[in-house]
Amino acid sequence: MKIIIYFLLTFTVTLTAQQTDIVIYGGTSAGVMAAIQAAKSGKSVVLIEPGMHIGGMTSGGLSSVDKGNAAKVGGLTHEFFNRIWAYYNPTLPNTGKTMWKLEPHVAESIFNTMAAAYQVPIVYGELLNRDSGVIIDNQQITSIVMESGRTFSGKMFIDTSYEGDLLAAAKISHIVGRESNYTYGETLNGVLPNIKRTGTPLIDVYRTEGNPQSGFLPRISVDQGGAPGQGDAGVQAYTYRLCMTNVTENSVPVTKPSDYDEINYEIVFRAIEAGIKKNQFLKISPLHNGKVDINSGIISTDFVGMSWTYAHVDYTSRQQIAQQHQSWIEGLIWTLQNHPRVPSEVKDYYTPWGLAKDEFTDNNNWPPLLYVREARRMISSVVMTEHMAMGNTPVSDGIGVATYQLDSHPVKYFIAPDGYLMIEGTFFKQLPQPFPISYASITPNINECTNLLAPVCLSASHVAYGSIRMEPVFMILGQSAAVAASLAIDLGVEVQNVPYTQLQTQLLNEGQILN
């Protein structure tokens, strides 16, 4: 009887709604900054992380951080990267310098230290019920329910997930894919014109070289998918950002995946035969202690064409997509290091590298997080566009600054008119100057929801998001979102009606750089 009563009491407590001022869903780098700022502002807060680690990609393998202009990074984000500098320079006076190369476990430790300093409650392993888990009354979210049944109630909600799951479950307008160039009068959106190869070698795309009747190699589309500038459902490629090392005693070899199929890597063999340089398969960025961050090249860890459905599908399907990405990357590295069709000079270049034994120790040294470069993007009263990024349209309600180039990874492989492989969807365009990000772009339309902020899957075109999607920017926007949420509570207003002059003052007081 005592055992039954204890079970019932425990079960009841588990399902009782947890009430806080601010509920944050997504323990990404933006989520951590938002939670810390909420606590700094004197608000009760809870940070819900679906996985078992906080920090998102900043602690999940993206260790060579795309910072853009470091002088435009302020607030808690500057503090974080200053702490990184101090960690690696313990004997030097701390004069506020920042460092942008880090080891994943160091980044996570600093996130945890900063959160603990403000006693931020963190709930791990809870997935939002995306079907019926967002309770709304009169355009206000009152609570969100996890798949476990656990409920979190609050006055304000902040969606800091990479996927935008909370905003989507709240039925807030959003898009997945690329707008037409004509939607916002842009030049880099939609299907990109087939202008030049940009370094892509002449790779035959047929299963039997020179024989169209044999069919295409895996992941090759029959054409570029539409007229130049036409919108589509295309999403830039995802990957895993690996932390690897050539220090033998700290290295774990990458093994051949159980589902390895040589036909999937025919594109690699033909790229080698076509003369692709050995260092173009994996971009190796040095870190600390003999470690490197692995990024993508022409034929690379980017699993091109396989990210399009990720935002829409259920959690099980997402896990399957993530596993497909892992298998592709494991197979690619194993191929470059071991396959008899790979020349010895290529093997010699890649063979020394293995997974870092002291990173991601609870996940077989593999990053726990798929690099979701872009998923949902909210559509609100203000959409950040190429015009704002290029300085042609002013932004008067800035809450942070983006400084990195407009950047998209490949969206698809297709057969070009000359019969060879073409990569579509990439762009990399320099900004004339840093540009401010509008407060209105992180707030939904007022007739949809009045107490949600979305600093990660904000309202931006595919083009503008190419610059905004950098981790330091997400961190900056996360902090600004929490300042706004706290101010909305204090003033008793909708997030859309927070007076910008007061918000601006608060942000500047917190050290944010706004223009």
- Strands 174-176 and 412-415: what pairing? unpaired
Q: What's the pLDDT tens digit per position in 16-72?
A: 678 999 999 999 999 999 999 999 999 999 999 999 999 999 999 999 999 889 999
**Confidence band (pLDDT; 50, 70, 90) for 5?**
very low
CA 158 to chain CA centroid, Å, is 16
| Residue 13, pLDDT above cutoff 50 | no
**Mean pLDDT of the 503-507 span:** 98
| Residue 237, pLDDT above cutoff 60 | yes
Distance CA 330, CA 328 (A): 6
Identity at 293, one-letter amino acid code: D
**Confidence band (pLDDT; 50, 70, 90) for 4?**
very low
Lowest mean pLDDT across 163-172, 273-282, 342-351: 273-282
pLDDT at res. 2: 37
**Mean pLDDT of the 344-364 span:** 97
Lowest mean pLDDT across 97-111, 215-229, 463-477, 499-513: 215-229
Contact 52, 27 (CB under 8 A): no
| Residue 9, pLDDT above cutoff 80 | no
| Residue 258, pLDDT above cutoff 50 | yes
Q: What residue spans define the domains of the chain?
A: 19-176+428-509
pLDDT at res. 3: 39
pLDDT at res. 16: 62
What per-residue string of b and e applies to 422-434 under the rule 16 or more CB within 10 Å gives b? bbbbbbebebeeb
Q: What's the pLDDT tens digit per position in 292-323?
A: 999 987 799 999 999 999 999 999 999 999 99
| Residue 198, pLDDT above cutoff 90 | no
Task: Classify residue 497 by its DSSP letter.
Answer: G
Q: Which CATH superfamily is domain 19-176+428-509 in?
A: FAD/NAD(P)-binding domain (3.50.50.60)
**Confidence band (pLDDT; 50, 70, 90) for 196?**
low
Q: Which of 414, 407, 470, 409 has its CA nearest to residue 437? A: 470
pLDDT at res. 384: 98
pLDDT at res. 193: 87
Q: Which of 129, 35, 168, 41 has its CA nearest to residue 478? A: 35
Q: What's the pLDDT tens digit per position in 67-112?
A: 889 999 999 999 999 999 999 999 999 999 999 999 999 999 999 9
Residue 306: exposure state from Cβ atoms within 10 A (0-12, 13-18, ≥19): middle
Across the chain, mean pLDDT equals: 94
- The backbone region for 360, taken as left when phi is positive above 0, alpha when psi lies in -120 to 50, beta otherwise, is left
CA 152 to chain CA centroid, Å, is 25
Identity at 102, one-letter amino acid code: L
Q: What's the pLDDT tens digit per position in 418-442?
A: 889 999 999 999 999 999 999 999 9
